Amino acid sequence: MRVLRSLLEVAVALILALAGLRWALGLFSRKTTLYRPTITQQISLLAWPVLAIAAGLAAAGPNLLGGSATERWLAWGLLGAVVALAAPALLLHLRYYTRNAATELLFVPTQGQLQVALHGTLAYDAGRQGWPGPGPVEWHRCRWPGVFWRRYEYLRLPLPQGDLILTSLMLPNMRPLVNYLREFGVRVDEKNRAWAWV
């Protein structure tokens, strides 16, 4: 139990240190236009699911194996409820990370730049290749975003060489990119799904 508490304290201290470092670096840097999955973004996306599991383990931990039969059932029930709430977000995060771990997005709407690189190689440049086609861009969103603590959504860009998927790990808010595409006449179909699985 002490190990779990110390891990939780280390996690909170790490989150606070990274938030302070990000704030301090933000004072001296300019706004970024290159988006990629970063470690601070991963920690912020996973903060609530991991804290929920840690709190559930801390509350249910002492009674999982000891105590009376009623206490064990209540502890296992509490742990099951916490895992049921946190598991969907953890699964979606893992899936999104595997899809976009090696993806970089350069998006500067004021200069008309939209480029996507996969594994360091330019895969899509709107300035040279034109707008996505032949079908419409699909914007998949979770119907109940509150279940996952964060917004999990993705864009499917149909390209001649195959579909390109940009998840919310790349760009936390997809609305500016969607508005940018719509401004240039690209049809964007919005699809609300209970589970925005790629």
The percent of residues above 90 in pLDDT, for the chain, comes to: 0
Residue ranges for the chain with pLDDT beneath 70: 1, 26-32, 132-134, 144-150, 160-161, 195-198
Q: Domain-by-domain residue ranges, the chain?
A: 2-99, 101-193
Rg (CA), the chain: 21
Residue for token pair 């009623």: 70
Q: What is the pTM of this model?
A: 0.67
